[in-house]
A and B are shown apart, each in its own frame.
Chain A
């Protein structure tokens, strides 16, 4: 019978592979923008890469021009598919390094937080890949991911809590109404009701700041994760941040494993 730890590890690996697969497919669909006649022309980006350490700079020179980059994206898709279908953990070092290279191609990040969490996920999953699929390696990887996912909510929540505009609801109203996709009609009507907006803003801050409570027990953890999934789904609808949804969802099995770990530690 498979240990729950390896069940969570496998779930994290597959969800992360799915998230990275979607990102890679999207960039392949939009590859014209990366070509030498597109916007992100390598010739325009290369000068900045001189600031990188020489080995990384050389790797960028080989892999980030248009044609090699398209091949790299295709290889990422294949690697992600292998992980999804056959659970090949050995591919994580390639996926981690290629994730960093993709970020460099877009001058650090193309989608902000989802790129950062993708690096966290893929780098953590390198640990069992490189040091052997042992309980200690699995636990270390899951603990690192669980802590980072928790920190991502708490730091974001505390940073919002400091801002008077968030406490009054004005900031949430502003962000919704200024969505680059155009605000959904339903939310425009809701935004005209200050009390509802303030309630929603405090709901977001409460969810984020109190997320560490998810480590206390499994029912509380599942509740927070369900709220998180709904929160990220709403962000997909309002802001088009679909990569955030899958990146954070990929970290949720790790949060569950951390909840179980803390239960074990307290039982002692």
Chain B
């Protein structure tokens, strides 16, 4: 490689570094969000962020609210997970729903009602499915919350849902 080639390589790298350092502006567009796979950002595990934990409780009829239970349970690793790992990818997609809801909450910290948003309703469907798996015949109401992993119980949750009817 000649000196000009090294200069070109260095300049390309410098431009890329400037591009990565440049401030980013989030585009708030539902349409673009659905098509974001067409615009890869190529940023993975960049910053330490809160990891939300989804939990739920059942409020049976004429009874006190039950204990909070963790909603998502990570599947075990398996020998074939390199090839097919449907349970693992489903778990990751479910966790992604939870993170989207938390991001929505953080964008609207004023306590706006999120119950009509798609993110909330998907997490609600996730919780309801888990409750039906655990207690197929239970009636009453249920509630879910997002907490930071390892957060003590006396700290207010990141998000507390309203009570919904089973």
Name A residues whose Cβ lies closer than 8 Å to a Cβ of B.
22, 25-27, 29-30, 33, 37-41, 44-45, 47-49, 51-53, 99-100, 103-104, 106-113, 115-120, 148, 151-152, 154-156, 158-160, 162-163, 165, 170-171, 174-175, 178, 180-182, 184, 212, 216, 233, 236-237, 240-243, 245, 266
Contact = CB atoms under 8 A, between A and B. Distances in A.
A243 B96 CA distance: 16
Interface string B33-45: 1111111111111
Given A100-B38, A159-B43, A180 B125 contact: no
Contact of B31 (A53, A113, A163): A53
Interface residues of B, number: 59
Q: Lowest 5 A-B CB distances belong to which pairs?
A: A116-B40, A51-B31, A51-B30, A240-B88, A29-B86
27 contacts: A25-B86, A29-B84, A39-B125, A44-B122, A51-B29, A53-B31, A103-B35, A104-B35, A110-B93, A113-B42, A113-B44, A115-B37, A116-B40, A116-B42, A117-B40, A148-B40, A155-B16, A155-B43, A156-B43, A159-B46, A174-B48, A180-B72, A180-B91, A180-B95, A233-B82, A240-B85, A240-B88
A162 B18 CA distance: 11
Contacts of A175: 45, 48
A118 B39 CA distance: 12
Given A107-B118, A158-B16, A163-B47, A39 B129 contact: yes
Interface string B54-97: 00000000000000000010110100011111111111111111
A239 to B, nearest CB: 8
B40 A237 contact: no
Contacts of B40: 113, 116-117, 119-120, 148, 152
Given A103-B37, A160-B46, A178-B51, A240 B82 contact: no
Nearest to A27: B86
B17 interface: yes
A247 to B, nearest CB: 11
